[in-house]
Amino acid sequence: MSEAETKKSGGLVNLVTEHRQKVSELLQELGLKDEFFAVIINGKKAKLNEEIEKGTNIIILPKIKGG
């Protein structure tokens, strides 16, 4: 991935963006579907249309469903 620095630990992805983009654009860039992953920005779940500023620390977690 050329646009972000990533660190992966199990199902957790922690990265720092290098340019401004929407959450949906980041997931697409990473090849991840929003139905399976949640994006956390500043400790809060981000919406798909939310803008991510350059240099923001982001955590991507797999969504877990139980039943």
pTM: 0.74
Upper half-sphere CA count for residue 15 (Cβ side, 13 Å):
23
In tens, the pLDDT along 22-54 reads: 999 999 988 989 999 999 998 899 999 999 998
Averaged over 51-67, what is the pLDDT?
85
* Amino acid in position 67: G
Cα angle, residue 44 at apex, residues 55 and 8 outer, rounded to 5°: 60
List the beta strands (DSSP E) in 1-67. 4-9, 12-17, 21-22, 37-41, 44-45, 51-52, 57-62
H or E stretch at 26 = helix 23-30
